[in-house]
Amino acid sequence: MTAKIFLIRFLASGGFISYLPARLTGFKKFTGSGLAGTLLALALLPFLPEDKTAFALFCLAFLPFSVWIADLASKSYGTHDDPRIVIDEMIGYWAALLFMDRTPFNLAAAFVIFRALDTLKPWPIKKLETGVRGGFGIIIDDVLAGAEANLLTRLAAAIFL
């Protein structure tokens, strides 16, 4: 493996964190790598801007970067949306938190709702995942799941808090 491929896979897999669940469980499908990627996104939050506008600008800048890395990683693995690619879960979870306070309720609710939407892929998320190819196709379904999770988290907060 070349240094370039190593770096691309390192970035796309969240520092190879997505490799761990499959190694631990032995499952080829439903490996848990998406969960690991979302946990990594949660763990990285303290290192990201707390200001809502600055965080949104960070996500806006991270979006094309994640599309580019996901596209390169997908080509290096030889499959579309390989489970080892979790940069999409990272940007998706961060989208679920856009313009919200980082309260324990919001962090937990956005996490659970995002994971459910990313796993179940209700319409139109599934259509985007299967209908759009390349890095953009890998990323956009998770960003949409994050946007939907954002709205549902706000609704849950309004109802329960």
Residue whose entry in the numeric block shows the structure tokens 């080892």: 84
Structural domain including 108 reads 3-160
14-50 tens-digit pLDDT: 999 998 887 776 666 557 899 999 999 999 999 999 9
CA distance 3 to 91: 25
Helices in the chain by DSSP H: which ranges? 3-12, 19-25, 33-44, 52-77, 87-96, 104-120, 125-131, 134-160
45-66 tens-digit pLDDT: 999 999 999 999 999 999 999 9
67-123 tens-digit pLDDT: 999 999 999 999 888 999 999 999 999 999 999 999 999 999 999 999 999 999 888
Domain count, the chain: 1
CA distance 95 to 118: 12
Mean pLDDT of the chain: 92
